[in-house]
Amino acid sequence: MDSNPSFGKCLPISLQHFLAMIVGNTLPSIVLAGTLAAEHGFTPEQKVDLIQAGMFIAAIATFLQLIPVLTVGAKLPLIIGVSFSYIPVLNDIGRVYGIEAVMGAQLIGAIAAFIVGMLIGKIRKYFPPIVSGTVVLTIGLSLYSVALNYMAGGNNVGRTPGAQDAPPFGNWRFWVVALVTLAVVLICNMFAKGYLKLAAILVGIVVGYIVALCFDMFLPPMVNKAGEVIKMINFDTLSTSRWLDFPKIMPYKLKFPPAAVATMVVMFIVNAVQAVGDISSTTVGGLDREATDKEISGGIKANAVSSAIGSLIGALPPATYSQNVGIVAMTKVVSLKVFKITAGLILVAAFIPKFGAIMLTVPQAVIGGATVSVFAQITMSGMKLITSEELSIRNSTIVGLGVALGMGVTQISKAAFSTFPSWFTMIFVSSPVILATIIVFFLNLVLPQKSLAEEQAEREEMEK
């Protein structure tokens, strides 16, 4: 890790890491910005700021992991970026309370995650693969509706709140563009090699973007019920954005609705424990050893500190990027110099608002087509964690009830909970992830541990 290869040798691998994370780092901000625009009038300028702040915090978080401050930081070859895992909760908080509550709840959640980092050695046993895997599985499942809504046109296609019911939402053009994007991502993932494979999502977005541009140029315009002409690609924000800017301190007045705070605290604790997996995968894949408690603790605390800073500059919470962990395992390159160069590239992009504005011109149908495969991978990561343990009746019950109740309560009418207080519905009903986490955590504590062999012995005893 302390080797000093030449800049020429570092740059190609640094670019690989940059390409692997850059799209994923911007998409969560775009998704949340779409929700805030539909529900709270979030402006295009605010959307750009949210993307740019996310780039800045990703660079800071990565540098902090590479160059620890006291006990904060893992000093491992890690790339950190804005995490998709928080999106289901962020969307719900943003829809109900707005961006101010998102940032306020994030600050308190970051404090909770820092405490987890301090205590991780003692509480890790309470989050075995059967628990953490069910949580990850639920995160992936809960994001599918977000991706499919985007594939059909997105939240703000009609320019007004609730316009999903009006044309051109669901227009065949959106579906064609989304499916072309998805097909290109799959082809690059399955058949390409090298940079093309690593940048599969980026390539898919570029192709989908070109198809959408052709539709705008050569087909008759789409018109909504208000008579407005709707184009798939809008360049207004690009023409008005600046070339150079710096992060804003306290762009939003922080708010702390108790229900939003409680929901975010649970998510931060879950993601702090999940970071153990990515950090361990990095050391096993790149260094052929297990991660130490000091490295895991430092890594979690660095993500927590970065999230706290992010809440003060208007950036969403960051986390370790699994795709970059995969590159480490594949290339076996662990020189921290390579990752410092990548962090530098991310930081440069953070100071160029034109970059964020370019990302905002990407049609939501393209984003949906690109991200549905990412959400599928999140789901399957959860499945892998679950199946790493025995699927005994006990474990199957934990997983089945967690997913059934977590996903089920969000798919029925809100009238079913009309007699419950608002704080209850925010914590237990708005996000399937939170309810599933609570259920599997407690079931794992109270249900007696039984292996497949023990369960089989019980059945044989009953049959006598």
- The neighbour count for residue 414, using CB atoms within 10 Å, is 11
pLDDT at 161: 41
pLDDT at 157: 52
pLDDT at 76: 87
What residue type is assigned to position 354 of the chain? K
* Model pTM score: 0.71
pLDDT digits (tens, 9 = 90+) for 237-291: 666 667 777 778 888 889 998 888 888 888 888 788 777 767 776 777 777 777 7
Q: Which residues of the chain have pLDDT under 70?
A: 19-20, 155-167, 194-195, 198-199, 224-227, 236-241, 277, 281, 322-323, 326-327, 329-331, 356, 360
Q: Give CA–CA dist 365/233, Å, rounded.
A: 10
Nearest to residue 316, comparing CAs of 159, 70, 40, 90? 90
DSSP label of 318: E
DSSP assignment of 30-88, as one string?
Answer: HHHHHHHHHHH---HHHHHHHHHHHHHHHHHHHHHHHS-BTTB---SS--EEE-GGGHH
What backbone phi and psi angles, to 5 degrees, belong to 244? -140, 135
Residue that the structure tokens 């020189």 belong to:
335
CA dist list (Å): 73 to 62, 70, 118, 297: 9, 8, 12, 8
Nearest to residue 18, comparing CAs of 302, 350, 242? 350
pLDDT at 372: 82
Quote the tokens at residue 62: 């990565």
pLDDT at 162: 46
- Find out whether 450 and 149 touch, Cβ atoms under 8 Å: no
- Find out whether 369 and 174 touch, Cβ atoms under 8 Å: no
Query: Which residues are bridge partners to 230 per DSSP?
Result: 222
Q: Give CA–CA dist 247/58, Å, rounded.
A: 13
pLDDT at 189: 79
pLDDT at 164: 46
CA dist list (Å): 397 to 6, 29, 390, 403, 445: 54, 35, 12, 10, 13
